[in-house]
Homo-oligomer: A and B are copies of this chain.
């Protein structure tokens, strides 16, 4: 039986009951949509994901791109798959009709995206990178730049990249040194080196447009002197496409996402690399954060998707494979692996991580939709939630999803340790998610140093209201106290801690505030995923009023597991933050 990748029942429940996505269609921006168009798009993506994408996954993993003659050649099956994605309209799905898009809510496209990423993340990522790059051009480019790049990017004829990282600077974008020199024709000459550029060259579309961060000569130092440029591999000149002096200088040998090349690129070795300024000078980082914030939600959704694909592999194996006897039994026939309590533990833990992560990604996407297109008077509230949830949505599925994927390997035992089965490949893929688009450490500083503290803690207050509302609904639906009380307690603990840390920040005690930022982020993740499970359990309880329902029973057990096993950990993590437990803060470099 083919891997379903994502549980359709969960997606349906999220859209209909938990998030009530249909209410989006009452908004002017989504007026042409309805449950049918959502379903049409989702089912087209599902079908492609479970069919051609998934069946090509391992072949593409086994034969990575080839770097030859200065160019990168992808696996021969990559191009046709990418064409199918283009034809589905995946690249511009969420973009307005006027730029060739479907104006689909991000809520729906994020869930559709999980199928595609679970099926074949390297192929889906090329589409997704193109969306992000084109969206930057759409949002900030002037008419000439849009005219030059936008339609072809949204059509997938040209693909896009984010060209941020430089070899010496890594995550520290303020240190980048790629330069942009104004030219008489109004464009700039770009010169510098970038690294880890995903999709930076390939043979499956005519051109690649690098949305590149660089410093205009004389710009301020640090993050405030960075500008954004569109830098194509080939530029149009006299009706033809000519080489734009962007060269592949090396291929990174990644351990996962193998079909998608990650490259080192050199810009302007011959002094002939033309870049088109996007937006105002020195505003590049601010603009790039639009793309990065979208990317962070997408990374979380992808991590959930990979963990989900791995879970379904483990689930199918445990339901099929017979081995050992039931606990306390000696005779009789071997039982299915799923009969062993510890295997059930591993599966339920995976399921709780996957369901919670998918729900969180969809929830964050919903707030993004409402922040941009919702009723005017509510936008601010949704913006606060979106900002607060983004680093958690990026991180929780990535960190917990790695653990979940490792559990899938474990369920398969010795077979899981071989490349005859898929979980090991998903495990390699998964590790990237805690690193790219901002590491877990960076997300934790973003959450605690910026998002939580912004506007006097308004974000956390709004989140607390949402969680309180969910608690009230759960109580009204008759959910037992054990499913509610831990969440209420954890919310109180995190709130009190945040006030304490905020005071430290105000008093200038940066280390006292941020020294345990990852513990704070972990605690926030446990809480926010608990909120998702609470809502899933409420919806499940309502379903069970209609009669026996295996899916709802599983959701209830996942929620109970999370409330009993994970949410109580918040107290301990809060204590570490609050006491400022000094062990690693005191460590001197020479003591390691």
Contact = CB atoms under 8 A, between A and B. Distances in A.
Contacts of A557: 583-584, 586-587, 591
B342 A444 contact: yes
A346 B319 CA distance: 37
Interface in A497-541: 510-511, 514-515, 517-518
A128 B340 CA distance: 32
A172 B336 CA distance: 12
A145 interface: no
Nearest to A402: B406
Interface size class of A (residues with CB under 8 A): 35 or more
A254 B256 CA distance: 16
A413 interface: yes
A172 B172 CA distance: 52
Contacts of A328: 510-511, 514
Interface in A540-592: 550-551, 553-554, 557-558, 560-561, 564-565, 568-569, 572, 576, 579, 581-592
A517 B585 contact: no
A62 to B, nearest CB: 10
A330 B222 contact: yes
A364 interface: no
Q: Count chain B CB atoms within 10 A of each CB in A169, A327, A330 and give the residue with the most.
A: A327
Contacts of A342: 440-441, 444, 517-518
Contact of A171 (B196, B256, B323): B323
Nearest to A571: B572
A292 interface: no
A338 B564 contact: no
A353 to B, nearest CB: 13
Contact of A550 (B195, B406, B409, B590): B590
B169 A348 contact: no
Contacts of A440: 342, 410
Interface in A389-439: 402, 406, 409-410, 413-414, 416-420, 424, 427, 431-432, 434-436, 439
11 contacts: A170-B324, A336-B589, A341-B585, A342-B444, A342-B517, A427-B431, A554-B592, A560-B582, A561-B584, A564-B583, A568-B572
Interface of A: 165, 169-172, 175, 195-196, 222, 252-256, 315, 318-319, 321, 323-325, 327-328, 330-331, 334, 336, 338-349, 351, 402, 406, 409-410, 413-414, 416-420, 424, 427, 431-432, 434-436, 439-441, 444, 510-511, 514-515, 517-518, 550-551, 553-554, 557-558, 560-561, 564-565, 568-569, 572, 576, 579, 581-592
Given A172-B324, A256-B417, A328-B511, 6 more contacts: A170-B414, A254-B419, A341-B517, A346-B441, A351-B592, A417-B431
